[in-house]
Structure 1
């Protein structure tokens, strides 16, 4: 029996955690997006700045060296002149290799490199060679026939900067080849730093999200706990309000609603208590004159055969109405006991078949009831209340369904391995209208409003249900599947001792709370 609340608690905890998780995930995603975007922008800006600065420095130095050294070479330089010049150009602080192309004679090119093991003409992309060797027409927008061109390339996994230009008026063509590996290492270090910074930002955002989630969810959790206590009947539950934000406003709204509810429930309880006391007092006060009326009607009933034929019908009507009034008063007294919570079980071991037979025999229904009950089915319950239930169910079936009424008794196993007593009362009348079925156990409810003064008080089935509930059982009403009459099914635990102990425990707790107040 304890698995249900535990399961609900676990589910509530999971829901609480999932809300916290969603908040943390949202914070983390926002922080991750911001950090990644900022890191990517910073990396791109730094990468462009580093590469641009390095290539501009190298290209400017190469252009200057071409002007200062390569331009001073003779028109037909020797291979040694080219090599010596290339080595001088590469020996500067720029840290690049140089390749010079010239002509020994017309149509006889010579090539010299500052470091042939590092840089050869094969390392110069064909597109760059074509761009450098292309002679351009002079114009207002173009003052030189040849220009300096460059591009970035890779050899293996190492990036390189390759640039080239040609000396005007028949000078040599020069190419430079500079490794960008130091810059790549610097950029990789920057990327790692930005990645670490992004991870720290993500961790920080998760911690901040956890703190924010705790700050937000703690009032929500308190609100949920207060709502649960309020639903359990603790109408004096209130929330402590602090701050002026939306959660504080929600707490004020809850407190206002709880205060209004408590006031309305108190007013309703007072009115209900007043009405219950009035009914109880009225029923008690009616018993004395009703006793006298009953005695008089019994005398009149005994003398009815000797009365004037004109008076006999009136006497018969008075007798029946006095009996009806007596039943109504008894029913009202019983209802007030249930409403006041003073109804108690007086348990005994009962042979159910004998009890049903005694109920039918006491009311002279033996000829109208078909009983299907094996002897030996023993249940521990309150025999007086079982008699009230059976009398109301069988009497209702006889009155509205007509005889024969079939009563069957059996036992069924329930989930906990215990046995359950099942008593089924079936009639063969027209059945119960579908719109009436949900209300057959309501107090003072009658299916036909045109017959408000029928023999019944409208309390019989309601009292039967109350007596079943106090045993820990129930009664259900339905129409027979074959359309032949109505079926009332009474289900009671075969041993109501546990229910009785629970009622006594709740009663003692109620008395203690009353004393505390």
Structure 2
């Protein structure tokens, strides 16, 4: 089974969302990279500024600064500045001695000098993993320190080591990441919604084209294809569809002319055979069985001639040509009985029983339809013969008449065969439409049902088909009752009257 492809609208939506996702993801990544560095710089600048402030507090206390004083300064600055989650302070003399420390033990000065030398020389903050201060072990984040120079009142130089954690910077970065992720998700949802709407607008003309093309069928090929919209692309498609429709119409007309010509050619040998069959009995005594054979062959030839004439008549009627036809009334029950007699031979050949269910209401016994009797008979014969061919041996075909309303009568032809493949239900009445099994067996030419539908339509009715729940299928013929104005699709009532036919009538 071939893999079903996604619709054009879905593919366009997916592509637009994918492109938008790539663009938005790239922007988010760049923002994260930039903001990460920007947050670090912001934090380092604040740490450097706070270190200078702490140095200003310590300067008056030098050189007699104690550990307790330095610890109090660290606590006070932690409480006053929520950005920093604690401080560890160490003051070194110019020769590297530890003057005071808020955290014990304090790292020796030479160990600090082995850290990021470039950052120390530039006075920048830097991370350290070589030493951890006890007062900062419980604080989140990594330890970050800065070394600044200070002088006492006597211009004696000292080094102040200020250590804190970068928890605030990491928290700010995490919140920024959350905001960007939410924005990315919301952007994708918005992009998907917008893409679905935009792709719907973009594919709407294509849907109109497809809807218009679906309406093209053998019965509507002569009608102009209408497509609303003024875009240049749609105008090109409209012209191409009209050109295709014109080619199809020309092809169908060529087929009809060919079939009409063939039918004309067949009429001549049939007439000759009928004439010769009629002269056979006058040639002398013939045995009874031969006489029966002659009569049977003559009846079949007359039936064949009638079918050819009916087909020619139908072709002229559907093509809008005026024809000479005998129009009258046909009793519905009589139509069914006549059709059963006509199809008895093929039913016997296939060992199928024909079961009639006639109108039995006293008011409906004489119910009639107006029309061309030969065509009505051909219509029902085609349906019955089709049902017989698709019935199993010793099966049955039910021909049931019913009056569902005061203006309409239906004739149902029901078989108990395999039914119609679901894929053919919409095309079963198309010209040359055949089941594959029938094509392989060489039975039929795919014209019988198309002819039957055409006859029903020119009589103001129609034919529907459906598969039955148990098995088989049913064809339902709808015809207007004789005194119904809808029956005026076949004009007249007097025999041999000329009929003006309009092909578009049956499409209304």
TM-score (norm 1): 0.50
Match of 1:46 in 2: 38
- Residue 277 of structure 1: how far off its partner (Å): 5.1
Alignment of 1:401-416 (within 5 A): 408=396
1:213 to 195, 199, 213: 199
- Residue 79 of structure 1: how far off its partner (Å): 4.1
Decide whether the 8 Å contact of 2:396 with 2:415 is kept in 1: yes
Equivalent position SS for 1:176: strand
1:267 to 250, 265, 273: 250
Distance 1:516 1:368 in 2: 37
Structure 2 CA distance for partners of 1:211 and 1:51, relative to 1, 3 Å: same
- Residue 275 of structure 1: how far off its partner (Å): 3.6
2:281 to 293, 301, 308: 301
Is the aligned partner of 1:440 residue 2:443? yes
Distance 1:321 1:411 in 2: 26
Distance 1:65 1:204 in 2: 54
Distance 1:29 1:38 in 2: 14
Is the aligned partner of 1:224 residue 2:206? no
Structure number with greater CO (CA < 8 Å, separation at least 6) is 2
Equivalent position SS for 1:121: coil
- Residue 41 of structure 1: how far off its partner (Å): 2.7
Distance 1:165 1:367 in 2: 115
Match of 1:332 in 2: 308
Decide whether the 8 Å contact of 1:354 with 1:375 is kept in 2: no
Distance 1:370 1:226 in 2: 43
Match of 2:403 in 1: none
Match of 1:37 in 2: 29
Structure 2 CA distance for partners of 1:78 and 1:225, relative to 1, 3 Å: closer
Q: In angstroms, what is the RMSD of aligned CA positions?
A: 6.9
Decide whether the 8 Å contact of 2:40 with 2:169 is kept in 1: no
Decide whether the 8 Å contact of 2:379 with 2:451 is kept in 1: no
- Residue 30 of structure 1: how far off its partner (Å): 3.6
Structure 2 CA distance for partners of 1:45 and 1:230, relative to 1, 3 Å: farther
Match of 1:121 in 2: 103
Distance 2:336 2:32 in 1: 87
- Residue 173 of structure 1: how far off its partner (Å): 7.6
- Residue 206 of structure 1: how far off its partner (Å): 5.9
Distance 2:198 2:72 in 1: 66
Distance 1:368 1:86 in 2: 114
Is the aligned partner of 1:258 residue 2:258? no
- Residue 261 of structure 1: how far off its partner (Å): 1.2
Alignment of 1:16-415 (within 5 A): 18=10, 22=14, 25-26=17-18, 28-58=20-50, 73=63, 79=66, 83=69, 99-100=89-90, 111=100, 120-121=102-103, 129-130=106-107, 132=109, 134=111, 151=127, 156=139, 161-163=144-146, 174-177=160-163, 205=191, 209=195, 212-214=198-200, 216-230=202-216, 233=221, 234-237=223-226, 242=231, 248=233, 251=234, 254-275=237-258, 278=261, 286=268, 290=271, 294=274, 298-305=278-285, 328-340=304-316, 348-350=331-333, 384-385=377-378, 388=381, 408=396
Summarize deviations over 1:354-388 as a string: whole Å, max 9, x none: 76885589x8x999989686988979999945884
Equivalent position SS for 1:350: helix
Decide whether the 8 Å contact of 1:132 with 1:149 is kept in 2: no
Distance 1:25 1:499 in 2: 61
Structure 2 CA distance for partners of 1:191 and 1:135, relative to 1, 3 Å: closer
- Residue 50 of structure 1: how far off its partner (Å): 1.0
Segments of structure 1 that go 5 or more residues without pairing to the other structure are: 1-13, 113-119, 307-312, 398-404, 413-417, 426-432, 444-461, 477-488
Decide whether the 8 Å contact of 1:359 with 1:391 is kept in 2: no
Decide whether the 8 Å contact of 1:32 with 1:198 is kept in 2: yes
Structure 2 CA distance for partners of 1:69 and 1:252, relative to 1, 3 Å: same
Summarize deviations over 1:123-150 as a string: whole Å, max 9, x none: xxx7xx446454989xxx99x9xx9985
TM-score (norm 2): 0.50
Decide whether the 8 Å contact of 1:237 with 1:258 is kept in 2: no
Distance 1:237 1:180 in 2: 71
Decide whether the 8 Å contact of 2:225 with 2:242 is kept in 1: yes
Distance 1:181 1:55 in 2: 13
Distance 1:16 1:266 in 2: 30
Distance 2:197 2:395 in 1: 67
- Residue 121 of structure 1: how far off its partner (Å): 0.8
Distance 1:360 1:58 in 2: 110
Aligned residues: 402
Equivalent position SS for 2:333: strand
- Residue 47 of structure 1: how far off its partner (Å): 1.0
